[in-house]
Structure 1
Amino acid sequence: MGMFSRINDIVQANLNAMLDKAEDPEKIIRLIIQEMEETLVEVRTDAARFIAQQKTLTRERNAIEKSIADWQYKAQLAVNNDKESLAKAALVEKQKYVAKAQAIEEQLSQLTDSVDKIQQDTGRLNEKLVEAKQKQKSLITRKHSATTRLKVKAVDSAGKIDDAMMRFEHYEQRIDYLEAQVDAYDVTDQKTTSLSDEFAALEQDESIDKELAEMKKQSVA
């Protein structure tokens, strides 16, 4: 066996402690259940072998008991007919079968103890197996619940990110609008030349030209 070396190791194992220390509790509990089930198969195989031996020995014992009764009858018959030596010989044969019967009884007693112990161990193993399967079911339920909650959190987080991005884009649009307002002021503040201003400038240029011409004539004279 891998995790367990004896049936008692399985029965006395603290599943909670084992799972708390495991990096992958779901995998560990699956392996534990597998080993328990394999152990039960081995135990049942032993039980079947012992029961088969019990049946075989019981048949042998019944045959021996019949032989004992037969030799007992022969010994009594010899005594009744004053055949003492023959009676002793019959009793000797009877004792041989009695010894065989005693040996078989001892074997049957040992087999009975073994079968009783297997029944107890099987009961304890089944209880532990039920406990392990309940742990496995609990782990699967917890994993499913955690996975579902994680998906919900992920969707919620994605929604928050989208909201934040929308707020950021809205904020950028507001800034763009404010900057556009400033640019609009710059455009509207540019000075425009009216028609009267253009004529006034033209008259000023003409006056300057006349004065410059007069200055040139005086210089020549």
Structure 2
Amino acid sequence: MSIFSRLSDIVNSNINAIVAGAEDPKKIIRLIIQEMEDTLVEVRSSAVQTIAERKEIERRIGTLARDEAEWERKAELALTHGREDLARGALQARTHLIKTREALQGQLSQIMTGLSHQNDDIAKLQAKLADAKSREQALLSRTSIATSRVKLRERLHDGRISDAFGRFEQIERNLDALEGRAESYDLGKRTLEQEIEGLEADTAVDSELDAMKARLRGRIEAPGS
């Protein structure tokens, strides 16, 4: 099972449990990131062990290669001294070492392939984790805004707000009635400014009347002069 299949199973299981319990979406987001972080730590730890195993096998292969060369040297030495039996035994020992080294090389090849896959998985997981973290704040902001809007809408539809505005309207009606009563006491009364304006108007009318009388007298007196 790949780490992504395993991670998906873990995350989906926990998310289903959270959704079933109507948990805060923030917890779901944080859980996903936490699971990815934990998986990344686990995969890196596994990679460290695999690298240590690779190094150990490489050391053993190096030692076997040196031992092979040594047995080959001994076989040549035995032949130079006419000891074919010893040379044969040395070559047999060398052959055994070659088989052991080749087996280790096959094992090393498998380990290298596994490490390559682990490196790919780690790179992909790091990229997904970075993307998740970059999207976390945006998702949290959207969650916060949506939650605030829901609360605001609930308050706007709250009967207590309607009652409060109803009381404001009643207060305004009461003030209108009170101001109307105050104004009713002033009906029929003229202010100082109105009195002065009246006098000015009367003076203008009197002046115009006197002028008119003078013109009429002039017309009457004109024919008999």
TM range (shorter): 0.5 to 0.7
Alignment RMSD: 4.0
1:169 to 159, 168, 171: 171
What letter corresponds to residue 58 of structure 2 in structure 1?
A: T
What letter corresponds to residue 132 of structure 1 in structure 2?
A: A
Q: Which structure would you say has the larger RCO, counting Cα contacts within 8 Å and 6 or more residues apart?
A: 1
Q: Is the 8 A contact 2:78 2:87 kept in 1?
A: yes
Change (3 A) 1:84 1:101: same
* Counterpart-to-counterpart distance in 2, 1:164 and 1:5: 65
* Counterpart-to-counterpart distance in 2, 1:75 and 1:140: 75
Cα offset, 1:149, TM superposition: 6.1
Give the equivalent residue in structure 2 for 1:54.
54
Q: How does 1:31-110 map to 2 (within 5 A)?
A: 31-110=31-110
Q: Is the 8 A contact 1:29 1:136 kept in 2?
A: yes
Q: Is the 8 A contact 1:72 1:91 kept in 2?
A: yes
- 1:8 matched to 2:5: yes
Any unmatched runs of 5+ in structure 1? 182-221
Any unmatched runs of 5+ in structure 2? 184-225
Give the equivalent residue in structure 2 for 1:219.
none
Give the equivalent residue in structure 1 for 2:140.
140
Between the aligned residues of both structures, percent identity stands at 32
Cα offset, 1:136, TM superposition: 1.5
* TM-score scaled by length of structure 1: 0.64
Q: How does 1:174-193 map to 2 (within 5 A)?
A: 174-175=176-177
Cα offset, 1:150, TM superposition: 7.0
Give the equivalent residue in structure 2 for 1:184.
none
What letter corresponds to residue 143 of structure 2 in structure 1?
A: K
* TM-score scaled by length of structure 2: 0.63
What whole-Å deviation, never above 9, does each CA across 1:67-92 have from its counterpart, x for those lacking one? 00000011111122221111100001
Change (3 A) 1:154 1:169: farther
